[in-house]
Amino acid sequence: MPVTLQQIANAAGVSRATVDRALKNRGRINPEVAEKIKRLAEEMGYVPNISGRALAFAKRNIQIGVILQFAETAFVQDIARGIEQAKAQVEQFGCSLTVMRIYGTDIKRVISYMEEMRINHVSAIALIPIDDDDLRQEIHKCSSEGIKIVTFNSDIDNTERLCFVGQDAIKSGRTAAGILGDIVGREGRVAMISGTNSAIHKKREIGFSEIIHKYYKKIELVGISHTGNRESVAANQAEELLIRYPDLKGIYISTEGTEEIIKVLEERRLNRKIKVVVQDMTGWKSKSLIDGTIDYVIADDANIQGYEPIMTLFNYLYHDKAPEQEFVYTEIRIVSRYNV
């Protein structure tokens, strides 16, 4: 026979309601009492009634909305695969998941989708944001109505979101600076080609600039270009950099458009001469690492960025389990031709 909450309550000398609060980590309860209840539950072999909870969960019509910006990019497509994995799991428990895709960035559409989700009484939203005050206001509206928010890939500060899931972008930029600074010989000119005004790009820029200026006194950072995550813009900016700085020794590419930039280098027969550090390990970059066109990749786990936000929200709604930390950082991996 399965162990009941009442049996645990009898063994602990408390009420059934106290046991329920302790096991669900909610409500006021003496920490020592809570620890005693959890220990007894484990010793007695208590197993939550998952099927019963799943039925109750389904009756509550729990819905999670997901908003993907830059949906056309290879990295976000990899994120989407992690979302699909999480979707398959949560739907077994009666939770529904709706994914809205935006190509490029469109803050008005993001807010429109969030407003629609509020009207449809979603329980939670996971989204890739950009830094925008109107979006902050919309997140506030959602939070004030009890809708839980998790950001991923990029973050937005001064909001009531539960947590952020993604790479520590400042450390990512620092890592790129350290690698590029060393492989160009610690002197000469280098450049950075970045993306949009999203927090992740801004923070990579901060981290990269900080390390170059602090530790590489003989390196001149000639500029940080912004592409808006548009591949054609990335190619044009690479052309301009090479014309303006024919002695350029290295480039850090932290955004989309790497393939187009590499083509520009190849056309000018500068591939393998100019050192290149790029962001995100998408498929074709393996070949470029092996043939030496790209020197290093600062890799991130796209799958986790898609999977973890959904499961975080699900665990909050289903198990009453809040995130253990505000920033859930994914691993920063350095990939070269030797470990690709």
pLDDT in tens, 77-99: 999 999 999 999 999 888 999 99
Q: What is the pLDDT of residue 128?
A: 96
pLDDT in tens, 243-252: 999 999 999 9
pLDDT higher than 60, residue 55:
no
* Residue carrying structure tokens 């910006």: 69
pLDDT higher than 60, residue 184:
yes
Q: What is the pLDDT of residue 233?
A: 87
The mean pLDDT value for 213-237 works out to: 90
CA angle 191, 213, 263 (to 5 degrees): 15
Mean pLDDT over all residues of the chain?
Answer: 90
The backbone torsions φ and ψ at residue 178, rounded to the nearest 5 degrees and listed phi first, read -65, -40
pLDDT in tens, 310-328: 999 999 998 888 998 999 9
pLDDT higher than 90, residue 188:
yes
**Percent over 70 (pLDDT), the chain:** 94
pLDDT higher than 90, residue 76:
yes
Distance CA 149, CA 161 (A): 5
Q: What is the pLDDT of residue 33?
A: 87
2/240: higher pLDDT: 240
Q: What is the pLDDT of residue 4?
A: 83
Query: Which amino acid does the sequence have at 200?
Result: I
Q: What is the pLDDT of residue 60?
A: 59
Q: What is the pLDDT of residue 51?
A: 53
169-299 matches 55-166+302-330 in CATH topology: yes
CATH class of this structure's domain 169-299: alpha beta
- Return the domain boundaries, the chain: 5-46, 55-166+302-330, 169-299
Q: What is the pLDDT of residue 54?
A: 55
pLDDT higher than 60, residue 277:
yes
Q: Residue 248: which of 221, 266, 226, 224 has the closest Cα?
A: 221
Q: Are 103 and 321 in contact (CB under 8 A)?
A: no
In this prediction, residue 119 has a pLDDT band, given cuts at 50, 70 and 90, of very high
pLDDT higher than 90, residue 116:
yes
pLDDT higher than 70, residue 24:
yes
262/26: higher pLDDT: 262
Q: Residue 336: which of 278, 277, 276, 295 has the closest Cα?
A: 295
The CB-side HSE value for 9 (13 A sphere, CA atoms) comes to 11
**Percent over 90 (pLDDT), the chain:** 63
Which CATH topology does 55-166+302-330 take? Rossmann fold (3.40.50)
pLDDT higher than 80, residue 53:
no
The SS3 of residue 15 is coil
pLDDT higher than 70, residue 101:
yes
Distances (CA, A) of 6 to 26, 108, 136, 182, 280: 18, 52, 45, 64, 52
In this prediction, residue 272 has a pLDDT band, given cuts at 50, 70 and 90, of confident
Most confident range, picked from 150-154, 198-202, 263-267, 285-289? 150-154
